[in-house]
Amino acid sequence: MMPIVVAADVRKAFGSVQALDGVSIEIPPGQVLCIVGPSGSGKSTLLRCINQLERIDSGAIWVDGELIGYRRVGNKLYELTDAEIARQRLTSGMVFQRFNLFQHMTALENIIEGPVTVQKRRRSEAVDEAMALLQRVGLSEKRDAYPSELSGGQQQRVAIARALAMKPKLMLFDEPTSALDPELVGEVLAVMRDLARSGMTMIVVTHELGFAREVANEIVFMDRGAIVERGSPQEVLVHPKQQRTRDFIAAVLA
Amino acid sequence: MSSSTASSPTRMEMPERFDPSIAHLTHVPRRHYGRWIASALILAAFAYVIKAFAEGQIDWTVVGQFFTAQSIISGLGNTIIMTVCAMALGIALGVLFAIMVMSPNPVLKGVAIFYIWFFRGTPLLLQLLIWFNLALVFPRIGIPGLFEARMVDVMTPFVATLLGLGINQGAYTAEVVRSGILSVDAGQTEAAKAIGMTRLTTLRRIILPQAMRVIIPPVGNEVISMVKLTSIASVIGFAEVLRNAQTIYFANARVIELLIVSAGWYLIIVTILSIAQHFLERYFAKGSGRRSRRFARPAVEG
């Protein structure tokens, strides 16, 4: 089966900090992959590079079989235009740590914005699908609420619905529960669990080791811009081979 | 025991401090004698000013007579038209240059910085005079082969005023728009990108509508300023309300009466605009009724 994401020797630096130091990975479709690791390990950066929110310094990334951000002509990679990059982003949906719902739009308007404005689909059709998505995340009655009137957990569920409305092949979650009060984490994880069960390919950067262990098919442990260990939840979280992984898990569980 | 003077007041206060029977006593608000005296003084001064104007050398029937005179009303029309046109030009240029200032392209950025520097750095009156006298520098204007005209024919008082006020306004509005755009959280741009929006669509659909909440109050202020700034154009002969009032008092010598007529009209326009601004602000405040993230904790990792 063709991998949905392939990264080859990806490097990215912010000033003098090497956020990604030669990351290579293949991710098969239909999988839930959780990326764990300490702060500053580069896990969020990797996710953001896959969605081209960050431009990589070197290396290459393919999403759904397509080289992203660049076009190869001969022995050089030429950067794509704004519009081409925007089109490539449609393959993946992104859920942010801080939700980033459009503050001037209601829950429903947030969800139909992409389908109507970007995909030029009929508004009535987009509204029908958005209502189905709101129901799926359990927020049908909040269709006309503005983000400021929703709890963090509700905002994140709307944000997931907004990403799903674009019918992506791949969902990226960047620490989706890190900004939530503890009692609101469960409702967001429940929606993600449901999504995983439906067969959606998901890449989840998370601190929720319990969720990772329960839902993930595979875990990647990253540290200092590199992949340290990869394997099943049992292998990485219960019987880690690397000392750095063991230290991290011990620190999180302590 | 060791200090009876220190402990005795405490013992005396104890019963009163916790005496529940005082709960039913009537509360008497404090009297603000200072405020009453200040109010009385101000009212007296105000009454004196009113009396002075009522008894002064002002012929109020002349004010009433000229308030709706043909020439004043047409001047008022020109004032309003100029305000609308100059402000439209100013906002269009302001948005354009705000985007240019934030552009990664150094040439666009440089041009925008120069524009803001130049037009904020020179007096408006001077700029108006330069526009009006541009024919001294460029006697003819046009694109060779396509069209050509004499500058004095093109640079009428209306055109010179429009360019002077509009371009000057653009330099100020650019800064307002820029601060409005900066006030929108960077996460909004990322979310818009993530659903496949191009940079321009993001600006139009996501950033500017939210920036409006910050932009509207100062721009409303500037519209009100603009109404009054149009009066400067009287020096280059633009027939706005003050210019026409002056033309009348040069003929009939009723100077103060005609100036009062103009002042009355400016106040009326500004009052209407202030009300309009209130409703506009309310419209663009949607979604920000309550601060968001009440339930969110600070970010753990960026």
Give tens-digit pLDDT for B40-66.
999 999 999 999 888 888 888 899 999
Beginning with the edge strand found earlier in the chain, give each strand of the sheet holding A92-95 in spatial order: A92-95, A170-174, A201-205, A32-36, A218-223, A226-231
- Structure confidence at residue B149 (pLDDT): 83
Complex ipTM value: 0.92
Question: How large is the average pLDDT for residues B108-112?
Answer: 94
Question: How large is the average pLDDT for residues A58-66?
Answer: 95
Q: Which residue has the tokens 């033309």?
A: B247
Question: How large is the average pLDDT for residues A34-61?
Answer: 94
- Structure confidence at residue B11 (pLDDT): 53
Task: Provide the whole-model pTM.
Answer: 0.79
B141 forms bridges with which residues in the sheet?
A: B149
Confirm or reject contact between A81 and chain B (CB < 8 A).
no
Question: How large is the average pLDDT for residues A34-50?
Answer: 94
Specify burial of residue A197 (Cβ count, 10 A radius: 0-12, 13-18, 19+): exposed
> Which CB contacts under 8 angstroms, 24+ apart, belong to A19-26?
A19/A45, A19/A225, A20/A45, A20/A46, A20/A49, A20/A56, A20/A225, A21/A224, A21/A225, A21/A226, A22/A59, A22/A225, A22/A226, A23/A59, A23/A222, A23/A225, A23/A226, A23/A227, A24/A227, A25/A220, A25/A227, A25/A230
**DSSP percent split of chain A into helix, strand, coil, nearest 5:** 40, 25, 30
Return the beta strands (E) in B83-197 as ranges.
Answer: 140-143, 147-150
Nearest to A224 by CA among A20, A77, A72: A20
Nearest CB to B297: which of A114, A149, A179? A179
- Structure confidence at residue B152 (pLDDT): 81
Of all residues in chain A, the one with the smallest CA distance to B285 is: A104
The answer to whether B264 and B69 are in contact (CB under 8 A) is no
Number of H helices, E strands in chain B: 13, 2
The answer to whether A92 and A102 are in contact (CB under 8 A) is no
> Alpha helices of chain A — where are they, by DSSP H?
43-50, 82-88, 107-113, 123-136, 152-164, 182-197, 209-215, 233, 243-253
Dihedral sign for Cα atoms in the order A182, A186, A187, A192? positive
CB contact under 8 A, B187 and A98: yes
* Alpha carbons A39 and B301: distance in angstroms, whole number: 7
Residues in chain A closer than 8 A to B203 (CB atoms): none
The answer to whether A56 and A5 are in contact (CB under 8 A) is no
How many other CB atoms are there within 10 angstroms of residue A91's CB atom? 21
| Phi then psi dihedrals of residue B105, to 5 deg | -75, 115
Indicate the pLDDT class of residue A143, thresholds 50, 70 and 90: very high
Structure tokens at A110: 């947030």
Q: Which residue has the tokens 């081979």?
A: A241
Structure tokens at B211: 């920036």
Write the pLDDT tens digit of every residue in A159-205: 999 999 999 999 999 999 999 998 999 999 999 999 999 999 999 99
Indicate the pLDDT class of residue B1, thresholds 50, 70 and 90: very low
- Structure confidence at residue A58 (pLDDT): 94
Question: How large is the average pLDDT for residues B103-111?
Answer: 92
Residues 29-48, chain A: which have Cβ within 8 Å of B? 39-40, 44
Nearest CB to B196: which of A89, A96, A179? A89
Residues 182-201, chain A: which have Cβ within 8 Å of B? 184
Percentage of chain B lying above the pLDDT 70 cut: 90
- Of A236 and B24, more confident: A236
Question: How large is the average pLDDT for residues B80-107?
Answer: 93
Nearest CB to B187: which of A100, A153, A181? A100
Dihedral sign for Cα atoms in the order A42, A48, A49, A53? negative
Nearest CB to A149: which of B196, B290, B301? B290
pLDDT above 70: residue A224? yes
Residues in chain A closer than 8 A to B206 (CB atoms): 102
Of all residues in chain B, the one with the smallest CA distance to A104 is: B287
A233 CA: distance to closest CA in chain B (Å): 23
B169 CA: distance to closest CA in chain A (Å): 28
Helices B106-121, B157-182: inter-axial angle, 10-degree rounding: 120
Dihedral sign for Cα atoms in the order A207, A168, B201, A81? positive
Interface test with B, best of A88, A95, A103 (most B CBs within 10 A): A103
Write the pLDDT tens digit of every residue in A66-117: 999 999 999 999 999 999 999 999 999 999 999 999 999 999 999 999 999 9
Residues in chain B closer than 8 A to A39 (CB atoms): 300-301
Pairs across A and B, CB distance < 8 A? 126
Question: How large is the average pLDDT for residues A27-39?
Answer: 94
* Alpha carbons B70 and B67: distance in angstroms, whole number: 9
- Structure confidence at residue B10 (pLDDT): 52
Distances (CA, A) of B177 to A117, A248, B92: 24, 46, 10
Question: Three-state SS for B291?
Answer: coil
- Structure confidence at residue B15 (pLDDT): 58
